[in-house]
Amino acid sequence: MRNAYLRTIKRMGSRKINIIDLFTGMLGESKNISIKKKSKTVKSNGLKTIKKFEVKKLEILDINGNCNKKLMPKLSKEEIKKLYEFMILSRVFDEKALNLQRQGRLGVYASMRGQEASIIGSAYALKKDDWIFPCFRENGALILRGYPMHQLFMYWGGDERGMQVPNNVNSFPISIAVGTQTLHAVGAAYANQYMNKKVANIVYFGDGGTSEGDFHEAMNLAGTFKLPVVFFCQNNQYAISVPRSMQTASETIAQKAIAYGFNGIQVDGNDVFAVYKAAKEALDNARNGKGPTLIESYTYRLGDHTTSDDAKKYRNEKELNEWLKKDPIARLEKYMRKNKISNAVYEKKVLENSSRQVDLAVKEYESTPLQNPEEIFNYMYSELTPELKEQQEEMLKNLKEENES
């Protein structure tokens, strides 16, 4: 990364002292600790500086579709179109899921709206052999990786067969429990490192997930053993109703990587080029034995936390309208039109094609036969154990007796 073009958010210096009461990842002012900014330095009292740190932010594409060419990643016009097409497909999927939920045809659903650049830009940087560890807002990333859309609808409709991951898709199941997937990703990365596989893992979580102990344990292990994993934080400003300002005293989430001995960077999460560039560099480093990276994707969810939430109760319309101006899809469209990559005819065609794909997926989801009761035992292990087989037979016997009575 050419640091000369990256905006420095904060500089930090560590001093050697006898007693430090310093919470993990929160390198703020404490007794005898100096924080260096561009123009002001707190007195060091003659203490030796051990190491200095910086936190940078990567921004390439602005809200008007103007691009910093010096930072622009190598992407062909066709690749830029692919990014756009997957972002549109993600939004169409999202809108359909919300409508289905309101009609009682899906269960609780977590929207991706406003975070398409963050989700698609990062997933596009993955190679086929890499692994993805999603939380619950990465449907677009799974679709990009080849996950069948009808299975995602099945999952959100309460059918666990939707998370029977196809063999050709390197993905762990969606994780609803906050932060636990970070440990799974690190464990898998440790296995890949042990087997000398040149494979990287990416694990997704929100800003709220960084307050979980699992996150810190995973970061510590990854840093200690230089594991091939990328921690991707979708900082959408709210952990349900808890604002980012009440989540941590750290000026950035990216700086939490410093405490664990590896790099952290903040990116404009509504800028698909910046997200892709940061993710690609981090994943390349992971595959090449250079250890983990924490990426803080600074974005915003335009919808509610889930369909069981009402964001109007904790955020105002003015804030929402400001972020609507930063819509990641509108931003990319402006760039593509300015560079003659897109036009109204193409955009209409993409939207129609996406709608057709999603409608077909809904039809397949709703025409899938209901699960047989005995199948609850079939997916615990790759093969049915004798104990589960016995339980299954007993359950079927009981059901038969109930039906005959």
Split at pLDDT 50, 70, 90, the class of 382 is confident
Structure confidence at residue 117 (pLDDT): 98
Would you kindly state where each structural domain of the chain is located, as residue ranges?
7-53, 77-366, 373-404
Please report, to the nearest 10 degrees, the dihedral formed by the alpha carbons of residues 281, 272, 266, 111 taken in order.
-120
Structure confidence at residue 127 (pLDDT): 97
Judged against a pLDDT cut of 90, whether residue 214 lies above it is answered with yes
Split at pLDDT 50, 70, 90, the class of 90 is very high
Q: What percentage of the chain exceeds 70 in pLDDT?
A: 90
Q: Angle CA(179)–CA(302)–CA(317) in degrees, nearest 5? A: 125
Judged against a pLDDT cut of 80, whether residue 84 lies above it is answered with yes
Structure confidence at residue 5 (pLDDT): 53
Structure confidence at residue 36 (pLDDT): 41
- To the nearest whole number, what is the mean pLDDT of the chain? 90
pLDDT tens figures, 240-298:
999 988 989 999 999 999 999 999 999 999 999 999 999 999 999 999 999 999 999 99
Taking residues 105-128, what's their average pLDDT? 97
Split at pLDDT 50, 70, 90, the class of 12 is low
Taking residues 142-153, what's their average pLDDT? 97
Lowest mean pLDDT, pick from 37-46, 295-304, 331-340: 37-46
Judged against a pLDDT cut of 90, whether residue 6 lies above it is answered with no
Structure confidence at residue 30 (pLDDT): 33
Split at pLDDT 50, 70, 90, the class of 373 is confident
| Active-site residue set | 301, 305, 314
Taking residues 152-169, what's their average pLDDT? 94
Which CATH superfamily is 77-366 part of? Thiamin diphosphate (ThDP)-binding fold, Pyr/PP domains (3.40.50.970)
Q: Which letter, b or e, does each residue of 300-312 get, where b requires 16 or more Cβ atoms within 10 Å of its Cβ?
A: bbbbbbebebebe
Rg of the chain over CA atoms, in angstroms? 23
Split at pLDDT 50, 70, 90, the class of 396 is very high
Please report, to the nearest 10 degrees, the dihedral formed by the alpha carbons of residues 190, 274, 137, 287 taken in order.
-20
Structure confidence at residue 61 (pLDDT): 98
Structure confidence at residue 376 (pLDDT): 85
Residue 181 CA to residue 171 CA, distance in Å, equals 12
Assigned token pair, 193: 């490192």
Taking alpha carbons only, the member of 309, 187, 288 closest to residue 242 is 309
Q: How far is CA 74 from the centre of its chain?
A: 22
Structure confidence at residue 10 (pLDDT): 66
Lowest mean pLDDT, pick from 23-37, 42-56, 175-189: 23-37
Judged against a pLDDT cut of 70, whether residue 160 lies above it is answered with yes
Judged against a pLDDT cut of 90, whether residue 374 lies above it is answered with no
Split at pLDDT 50, 70, 90, the class of 74 is very high
Structure confidence at residue 405 (pLDDT): 80
Taking residues 358-375, what's their average pLDDT? 94
pLDDT tens figures, 273-284:
999 999 999 999
Structure confidence at residue 13 (pLDDT): 59
Structure confidence at residue 24 (pLDDT): 35
Ramachandran region of residue 371, left (φ > 0), alpha (ψ -120 to 50) or beta? beta
Kindly report the backbone phi and psi dihedral angles of residue 103, in degrees, each rounded to the nearest multiple of 5, phi listed first.
Answer: -90, 0
Structure confidence at residue 192 (pLDDT): 96
